[in-house]
């Protein structure tokens, strides 16, 4: 399940079958909204804690 994993944009693209450009666009917007955090070149859902 993607929600519990730290994944690269490429891994997200493969798992979701989305175009890499679309993945980067969505990741960027989600990061701006504080929904995800970037750890190196990977992304993770932010915990509400």
pLDDT digit string (tens) for 3-22?
678 999 999 999 999 999 99
The structure tokens listed for 4 are: 């519990």
pLDDT at 49 over 90: no
Across the chain, mean pLDDT equals 89
Range of the domain at 25: 2-44
| Band of residue 44 on the pLDDT scale cut at 50, 70, 90 | very high
Q: Is residue 14 part of a domain?
A: yes
Residue 26 is assigned to a structural domain of this protein: yes
In this structure, is residue 49 part of a structural domain? Answer: no
Residue 41: predicted pLDDT: 93
Q: Label residue 45 by pLDDT band (50, 70, 90).
A: confident
């Amino acid at each position: 399940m993607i929600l519990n994993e730290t994944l690269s944009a490429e891994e997200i693209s493969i798992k979701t079958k989305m175009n890499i450009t679309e993945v980067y666009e969505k990741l960027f917007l989600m990061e701006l909204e504080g929904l995800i955090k970037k750890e190196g070149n990977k992304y993770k859902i932010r915990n509400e804690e």
